Amino acid sequence: MNIAGIPHRTIEVVPGTHSVRIIDQTVLPHQLVWQTLRTLNDAAEAICTMRVRGAPLIGATAAYGLALGLLEDASDAALKAGYDTLFATRPTAVNLRWALDRVRAVVAPLPLNQRADRAWAEAAAICDEDARTNHAIGQHGFELLRQLHAAKADTSAPLHVMTHCNAGWLAAVDWGMSLSPVYLAHDAGIPVHVWVSETRPRGQGASLTAWELREHGVPHTLIADNASGHLMQRGMVDLCIVGADRVTAQGDVANKIGTYMKALAARAHQVPFFFAMPVSTIDWTILDGIRDIPIEQRSAREVTHIPGIAADGTRQEVLITREGTAARNDGFDVTPASFVTSLITEHGVFQADATDLARLKAML
Ligand code: MRU
């Protein structure tokens, strides 16, 4: 996708080196800062601190992290330690495990002197595939958006899409998941307007989704998370489309905290509720998402404080509650399969149930 008209990916090899650069998402939208990752620990730090975030990008960064580690030490012990360090960075998005397993599987049988190059090539392949995959998700989702727009009483009116968090290209290597269909619809001339939920506590909607939609020229409006049900009740939302961090084999979906509440409101108001994600986000080893998906517990400080930019241009963080107020910060929630209209993947659109997902698995 483009930044100021120049094509970029969220993770890029620094030409002529064995290092990669990432966009530091903790300082967007106020600054665009590229940071170079030279070691496995750099990659782990970038994931832990959410300089990179979003399920597919976490996986891609971890893959390069393992490759960077093998450049320093390609022994079995280092491979295991590197895997464990990266795996421990964040618990909910299953793409992390998927990417690490994939790199480990191709390097483990090799002699030590071939491992780093092979890991580097596999990380690059993961990134290239992610870009292609997300474009395919966009094409399948585009067809849904086209049909929903054609079904509107007034087709000159915009198709109002509600999102949550950021599952756009900043959450992936390119294109994104929930926003990929939106970009294709916009580019095809369908009038699309996006309701961008701010996504407290970290504000990925306000800081990231609004930023990337503006870079692409897609009309959008920022809303407080609490406004979602109200807008649906008044017929101002044609569909919701969000990303996913882990989908179970029966179609339960973990996504950013607040997704479940939106799905409840959407069901009450007959608003279609789609999840868009690559097949690598499906955890085939579990069925019951509420029981079996680990929910990341994050710092209470993200709830009690809000960061931003002051009038003088300095970055500041302000306390919004009484000093010492207890706060809890679950990073994700689980939407049961029964609240999911359908799952948009690179292989097509599937029902969120064990039977249709088994059909998808058989296609792989
Ligand atoms: O905590 P984050 O920002 O890494 O959260 C992940 C997400 O970006 C969202 O949950 C998203 O909708 C799914 S990941 C593409």
Give the DSSP letter of residue 294.
P
Distance in Å, CA 257 to ligand 1 centroid: 9
C-beta 199 within 6 A of ligand 1: no
C-beta 192 within 6 A of ligand 1: no
pLDDT tens for the chain, residues 1 to 364: 889 889 999 999 999 999 999 999 999 999 999 999 999 999 999 999 999 999 999 999 999 999 999 999 999 999 999 999 999 999 999 999 999 999 999 999 999 999 999 999 999 999 999 999 999 999 999 999 999 999 999 999 999 999 999 999 999 999 999 999 999 999 999 999 999 999 999 999 999 999 999 999 999 999 999 999 999 999 999 999 999 999 999 999 999 999 999 999 999 999 999 999 999 999 999 999 999 999 999 999 999 999 999 999 899 999 999 999 999 999 999 999 999 999 999 999 999 999 999 999 999 9
pLDDT of residue 5: 87
Cα within 13 Å of Cα(244), Cβ side: 35
Which tokens in the block code for residue 65?
């992290």
Strand partners, 344: 276, 349
Strand partners, 348: 345
Report angle CA 173, 131, 169 to the nearest 5 degrees.
Answer: 45
pLDDT of residue 4: 87
pLDDT of residue 234: 98
What are φ and ψ of residue 253, in 5° steps? -130, 125
Q: Please say whether the beta carbons of 80 and 100 come within 8 A.
A: no
Q: Give the helix/strand (H/E) hosting 48.
A: helix 40-48
Q: What is the DSSP string of 185-208?
A: HHHTT--EEEEEE--TTTTHIIII
Q: Please say whether the beta carbons of 169 and 127 come within 8 A.
A: no
Q: Please say whether the beta carbons of 333 and 242 come within 8 A.
A: no
Give the DSSP letter of residue 209.
I
C-beta 331 within 6 A of ligand 1: yes
> Under DSSP, is residue 153 helix (H, G, I), strand (E, B) or coil?
coil
Ligand 1, atom 6: closest residue by C-alpha: 54
Which are the catalytic amino acids? Answer: 245
Task: Compute the distance between CA of residue 262 and CA of residue 239 in angstroms, rounded to an integer.
Answer: 11
How much is the pTM?
A: 0.96
Task: Compute the distance between CA of residue 202 and CA of residue 187 in angstroms, rounded to an integer.
Answer: 30
Distance in Å, CA 180 to ligand 1 centroid: 15
Strand 342-345 relative to strand 348-350: parallel, antiparallel, unpaired? antiparallel
C-beta 204 within 6 A of ligand 1: yes
Report angle CA 251, 166, 91 to the nearest 5 degrees.
Answer: 60
Task: Compute the distance between CA of residue 125 and CA of residue 288 in angstroms, rounded to an integer.
Answer: 31
The domain limits of the chain are 2-129, 137-363
Strand partners, 160: 193
Report the CATH number of the 2-129 domain. Answer: 1.20.120.420
Q: Which CATH class is domain 137-363?
A: alpha beta
Burial class (CB in 10 A: 0-12, 13-18, 19+), 191: middle
Which of these, 73, 129, 79, lies nearest to 105 by C-alpha position?
A: 79
Q: What is the DSSP string of 311-344?
A: TTS-EEEEE-S-TT-----B-EEEE-GGG-SEEE
Cis amide prior to 181 (ω within 30 degrees): no
Give the residue, out of 255, 260, 262, with the most ligand 1 atoms within 8 A of its beta carbon, to mutate for a pocket test.
255
Strand 20-23 relative to strand 11-13: parallel, antiparallel, unpaired? antiparallel
Ligand 1, atom 12: closest residue by C-alpha: 243
Task: Compute the distance between CA of residue 174 and CA of residue 257 in angstroms, rounded to an integer.
Answer: 23
Distance in Å, CA 167 to ligand 1 centroid: 6
Which of these, 32, 22, 50, lies nearest to 329 by C-alpha position?
A: 50
Cα within 13 Å of Cα(207), Cβ side: 22
Strand partners, 2: 7
Atom of ligand 1 nearest to the CA of 171: 15
Burial class (CB in 10 A: 0-12, 13-18, 19+), 150: exposed
Distance in Å, CA 38 to ligand 1 centroid: 25
Tokens 């504000």 correspond to what residue? Answer: 203
Q: Please say whether the beta carbons of 126 and 102 come within 8 A.
A: yes
